[in-house]
C-alpha cells in the first residue's frame, strides 16, 4: 500500500463524517485512488502564506462532509499550528503525514516512522565513512510506517472513532 492510499483510507474510515477531501498541497498526488475509496477530491494548492491558507480552508469548509488530506510539504510544516487550528475551527477531519501534527493537536497521521528513517540514514553515513562509494549504495525505501490517532481531538470534533481505526493505530493519544 502506498502512503497516499494509506492516508486516504484513514479518511475513508471516517466515512460517516465526510465524502470529499481537500488536498492542500501537491494536488496531483493520489487523486486516482480517491474515487475507489468513495472520496471526491477538491485539489487546493496553497502558497506559503497564512492568509491564503486560511482562505483556502475556510472556502473548503463551507460545503458539508469535507476532510483535509495534508501531505508532507515545507509549507504545511511551517503552518502546522494554523492548519490544525483551522481544521478544529471548521470541524474538518484531517490526515497528516507526520506524527508531530497529531501530537500538536491534529486528528491523525499516517507516514514513515521518522526514528527508523534516521537509523537508515545513519547506516548510510556509517557505510560511507567506512569507505563505501555512495554511488554504489542501494536506494532503500522506508520499511516502517505508523498510524497515530488523537482521541482528544476526535472527541472535540465530535467524531466517534470506529473500532477498526483504533485497532489499526500504532499509537493512540488520549
For 75-128, the pLDDT digits (tens) are 889 999 999 999 999 988 888 889 999 999 999 998 888 888 899 999 999 999
Contact at 8 Å (CB) between 152 and 173?
yes
pTM summary value: 0.75
For 19-57, the pLDDT digits (tens) are 444 444 333 344 444 555 455 566 666 778 899 889 888
Contact at 8 Å (CB) between 83 and 153?
no
Cell 547506516 maps to which residue?
A: 123
Axis crossing angle, helix 50-61 with helix 80-89, rounded to the nearest 10: 20
For residue 102, the model assigns a pLDDT of: 96
Q: What pLDDT band is residue 72 in, cutting at 50, 70 and 90? A: confident
For residue 104, the model assigns a pLDDT of: 96
Whole-number Å distance between alpha carbons of 40 and 163: 24
For residue 133, the model assigns a pLDDT of: 95
Contact at 8 Å (CB) between 110 and 3?
yes
How many other CB atoms sit within 10 Å of the CB of residue 41?
18
Which one, of 24, 26, 28, 30, lies nearest residue 8 by Cα? 30
Amino acid at each position: 500500500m502506498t502512503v497516499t492510499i494509506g492516508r486516504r483510507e484513514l479518511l475513508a474510515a471516517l466515512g460517516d463524517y465526510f465524502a470529499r477531501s481537500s488536498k492542500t498541497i501537491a494536488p496531483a498526488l493520489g487523486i486516482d485512488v480517491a474515487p475507489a475509496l468513495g472520496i471526491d477530491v477538491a485539489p487546493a494548492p496553497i502558497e506559503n502564506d497564512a492568509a491564503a491558507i486560511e482562505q483556502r480552508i475556510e472556502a473548503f469548509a463551507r460545503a458539508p462532509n469535507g476532510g483535509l488530506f495534508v501531505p508532507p510539504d515545507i509549507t504545511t510544516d511551517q503552518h502546522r499550528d494554523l492548519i490544525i487550528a483551522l481544521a478544529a475551527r471548521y470541524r474538518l477531519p484531517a490526515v497528516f503525514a507526520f506524527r508531530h501534527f497529531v501530537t500538536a493537536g491534529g486528528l491523525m497521521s499516517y507516514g514513515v516512522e521518522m526514528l527508523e528513517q534516521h537509523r537508515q540514514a545513519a547506516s548510510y553515513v556509517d557505510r560511507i565513512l567506512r569507505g563505501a562509494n555512495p554511488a554504489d549504495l542501494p536506494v532503500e525505501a522506508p520499511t516502517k510506517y505508523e498510524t497515530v490517532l488523537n482521541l482528544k481531538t476526535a472527541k472535540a470534533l465530535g467524531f466517534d472513532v470506529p473500532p477498526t481505526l483504533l485497532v489499526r493505530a500504532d499509537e493512540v493519544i488520549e
